[in-house]
A and B are shown apart, each in its own frame.
Chain A
Amino acid sequence: MKEKKKTVKTKELTVSLGPQHPATHGVLKLVLDLEGETIIKCTPYVGYLHRGVEKLGENRTYFSALPLTDRMDYIASMNSNVGYVNAVEKLFGIEAPERAKFIRTMVCEMGRISSHIIWMGTHVLDIGATTPFLYAFRQRERILDLFEMLCGARLTVSYPRIGGVRNDVTQEFLDTLYEFVLEFPSKIDDYETLITENRIWRKRTVGIGIITAQEAINWGLTGPTLRGSGVNYDVRKFAPYDAYDKIEFDVPIGEKGDCYDRYLVRIGEMRQSNEIVKQCIEKLPLGPVLADSPKYILPDKEMILKDMEHLIHQFVLIIKGPSVPEGEVYMSTETPRGELGFYFVSDGTGTPYRMRVRAPSFIHASVLPKLCEGHLVADAIANIGTIDIIMGECDR
């Protein structure tokens, strides 16, 4: 009897992954051309939010544009705020006091931890594990509670100010934060016990979405996505801002540039961030938290209530904005996702003539075809998660 020849027939298929898929962050759409289960072409579509942050920024004063930056990277709004105020300070030519710099560094690293935690939780959830997701949110809630204690807001914090920060930290805040810092390394150990050597996790991430160091630089990748490929570039080390030049920390680097390396880099960063926060608490100097530069800085709240001149001064700064020197600056900071840069063109008025945001998520989303093509559909999910994009920042 003749044996029947068994063949599996496949045909090319085009599938839209997202924007409703939970792994695509709400608005990202990938159009995948498939042959069987293999992706032969991937076309990302990012434009669904249309926040218009740049346009809005060009129609507001430097002070009133700050809350817009909260809404860009809503997972780490503190980091976006700090990036914005640093760029504006560079344009104004002013400097925040030492204590404010340490506080900003501290809150930035808290933002990084909370962002990486939520990244880890949702990334492993995308791939199929639920427990680390629940573990992750427990610690994230504690950081959000600390933010609430600091400034009354949990997500859209708007805490940093041009020339410093809104208010000083309390001793109660510092004590609670220190407790968190002492406890947190053991929590990272817990996450690692669950994930790092997990066989399913390794099968899903090792060797997936490889991007070499040379390619990563040429694409313009930054942050853990770049460092996962073995490139030692961190804005905190290369062009230190705030108090980073007074803090000792290492920059975790990957080797192969696959999903697993990017995961390890972020885990390493959480440990380093924890150390940075600890050092900031220990080294926190005394002094004011807002620069003494009346031309550019809003006057003290108490003085506004007492003195008419201060009230008028505040009114002018808010409505008209300060008189800024004409010129242009670019200043970048290291957010959890990578290099967040602000480019300002000033025409001498209180409103930026051009406000440009160099968002890391935007450029990271552009590399998705490179990461996904040739892999299976399931690997696209791992790749989207591993580059850690936030669509609010991508489509500003």
Chain B
Amino acid sequence: MEPLEIAEKVKDKFPNEVSNISEFRGQATVTLNKDKITEICRYLNDAPDLYFNYLVDLCGVDYLGKRNTRFEIVYHLYSLKHRHMIRLKTPIAQSELYTDSVVSVWIGADWYERECFDMYGIFFNGHKDMRRILMPDDWEGYPLRKDYPVKGHEKDWSGFLDVLSRAKRFKNFEWHK
């Protein structure tokens, strides 16, 4: 099925949820409200003519200062049976940093959602293990946000100071003392 055809099909099924459809370089993007994302993903996975059984990717984008709704979650779906692809996007406002998890549809979303939470601070309702994944648990800030500096904050991470103090303590036990 052609990408725009798929997008129209989603719009026909969920007319109130789809806010925009666009195409670029032969790839279609469907922008949705976040409220029914799990239901829509379930439909895309189950419908025999769509059958998007493979979640290719899930990531966030920060549009700080560029758009009114700051964040977006982007889902790339692929059907191994029909060999077609679609991109879904759900805008997330800074005042409501949460959306529903799609782990119940594709279990592979588990780590992607954790990564998205780790990098952008967006919480996924229904996820059973919403912990940081790439950064330490006590890390402050969300590194892929646009207002997060490339070289990190000036202040040292508290975990690093812990390691330094521990190393100092353990120095007493070194053999060449």
**Which chain A positions have C-beta within 8 A of B55?**
220
- Within the complex, what minimum Cβ distance (angstroms) separates B54 from chain A? 6
A343 touches B59 (CB 8 A): yes
**Which chain B positions have C-beta within 8 A of A332?**
56
**Which chain A positions have C-beta within 8 A of B133?**
46-47
A329 touches B25 (CB 8 A): yes
Asked if A90 is at the interface (CB within 8 A of a chain B CB), the reply is: yes
A343 touches B150 (CB 8 A): no
Asked if B143 is at the interface (CB within 8 A of a chain A CB), the reply is: yes
Neighbour of B76 across the interface among A55, A93, A341, CB < 8 A = A341
Asked if B37 is at the interface (CB within 8 A of a chain A CB), the reply is: no
Task: Provide the bound-state CA to CA distance between A46 and B133, in Å.
Answer: 7
Asked if A50 is at the interface (CB within 8 A of a chain B CB), the reply is: yes
B144 touches A54 (CB 8 A): yes
- Within the complex, what minimum Cβ distance (angstroms) separates A229 from chain B? 12
The answer to whether residues A233 and B76 also contact, given A47-B136, A90-B25, A330-B87 and a CB cut-off of 8 A, is no
Asked if A41 is at the interface (CB within 8 A of a chain B CB), the reply is: no
Task: Provide the bound-state CA to CA distance between A329 and B87, in Å.
Answer: 10
A356 touches B53 (CB 8 A): no
Within 8 A of B (CB), among A195-227: 217-221
Of B24, B74, B83, B143, most buried by chain A (CB within 10 Å of CB) is B24
B56 touches A330 (CB 8 A): yes
Task: Provide the bound-state CA to CA distance between A328 and B61, in Å.
Answer: 11
The answer to whether residues A363 and B59 also contact, given A217-B80, A328-B29, A330-B27 and a CB cut-off of 8 A, is no
A342's nearest neighbour on chain B, judged by CB, is B57
1/0 per residue, CB under 8 A from A, across B139-158: the answer is 00001100010100000000
Within 8 A of A (CB), among B72-101: 74, 76, 80, 83, 85, 87
A220 touches B150 (CB 8 A): no
A52 touches B143 (CB 8 A): yes
B150 touches A328 (CB 8 A): no
Neighbour of A218 across the interface among B27, B66, B106, B132, CB < 8 A = B106
**Which chain A positions have C-beta within 8 A of B112?**
363
Task: Provide the bound-state CA to CA distance between A327 and B89, in Å.
Answer: 14
Asked if B110 is at the interface (CB within 8 A of a chain A CB), the reply is: yes
Asked if B164 is at the interface (CB within 8 A of a chain A CB), the reply is: no
The interface size bin for chain B is 35 or more
Asked if A373 is at the interface (CB within 8 A of a chain B CB), the reply is: no
Task: Provide the bound-state CA to CA distance between A188 and B115, in Å.
Answer: 39
A237's nearest neighbour on chain B, judged by CB, is B83
Within 8 A of B (CB), among A323-373: 325, 327-330, 332, 339, 341, 343, 345, 347, 353-354, 356, 358, 362-363, 365-366
B74's nearest neighbour on chain A, judged by CB, is A343
B87's nearest neighbour on chain A, judged by CB, is A330
**Which chain A positions have C-beta within 8 A of B163?**
none
A343 touches B24 (CB 8 A): no
Task: Provide the bound-state CA to CA distance between A90 and B25, in Å.
Answer: 7
Neighbour of B57 across the interface among A221, A325, A330, CB < 8 A = A330
A220's nearest neighbour on chain B, judged by CB, is B108
The answer to whether residues A219 and B108 also contact, given A328-B29, A339-B56 and a CB cut-off of 8 A, is yes
- Within the complex, what minimum Cβ distance (angstroms) separates A27 from chain B? 11
Could you show 9 A-B contacts with beta carbons less than 8 Å apart?
A: A46-B133, A93-B25, A217-B54, A220-B55, A238-B83, A329-B27, A341-B57, A356-B74, A358-B57
Query: Which A residues have a C-beta under 8 Å from some C-beta of B?
Result: 46-47, 50, 52, 54-56, 59, 90-91, 93, 217-221, 231, 233, 238-239, 325, 327-330, 332, 339, 341, 343, 345, 347, 353-354, 356, 358, 362-363, 365-366, 395
Query: Which B residues have a C-beta under 8 Å from some C-beta of A?
Result: 24-25, 27, 29, 53-57, 59, 61-62, 66, 74, 76, 80, 83, 85, 87, 106-112, 115, 132-136, 143-144, 148, 150
CB-CB nearest 7 A-B residue pairs: A220-B108, A327-B24, A47-B134, A366-B111, A358-B57, A356-B59, A219-B108
